[in-house]
Amino acid sequence: MQRICLFPGTFDPVTLGHTDIIDRAVDLFDELIIGIGVNSTKVPMFTVEQRVAWLQEIYKHQPKIKVSAYEGLTVNFCKKVNAQFILRGIRYVADFEYEKGIADMNRKIDPTVETIFLTCSPEFSTIASTLVRDVIRNGGDATQFLPKEVAAAIKTMDLQNK
At residue 155 the predicted structure's pLDDT band, cuts being 50, 70 and 90, is: confident
Let me know: does 74 contact 7? Beta carbons within 8 Å: no
Q: Give the model confidence (pLDDT) of 64-109 as tens digits.
A: 999 999 999 999 999 999 999 999 999 988 889 999 999 999 999 9
Instruction: Identify the bridge partners of residue 31 per DSSP, sorted by sequence position.
Output: 4
- Residues placed in the known binding site for substrate: 10, 42, 74, 88
CATH topology of domain 4-161: Rossmann fold (3.40.50)
The catalytically annotated residue of 24, 64, 66, 91 is 91
Residues 7-55: pLDDT tens digits? 999 999 999 999 999 999 999 999 999 999 998 788 899 999 999 999 9
Domain spans in the chain, listed from the N-terminal domain onward: 4-161
Residue 18 bears catalytic tag: yes
42: annotated active-site residue? yes
Known binding-site residue numbers: 10-11, 18, 42, 74, 88-91, 99, 124-130
Its pTM stands at: 0.93
Clarify whether 129 is annotated catalytic.
yes
Query: Which position among 40, 42, 61, 108 bears the catalytic label?
Result: 42
Residue 66 has a CB neighbour count (10 Å cut-off) of 17
> What is the distance between the alpha carbons of residues 41 and 64, in angstroms, rounded to a whole number?
31
Q: Which segments are annotated as binding site for ATP?
A: 10-11, 18, 89-91, 99, 124-130
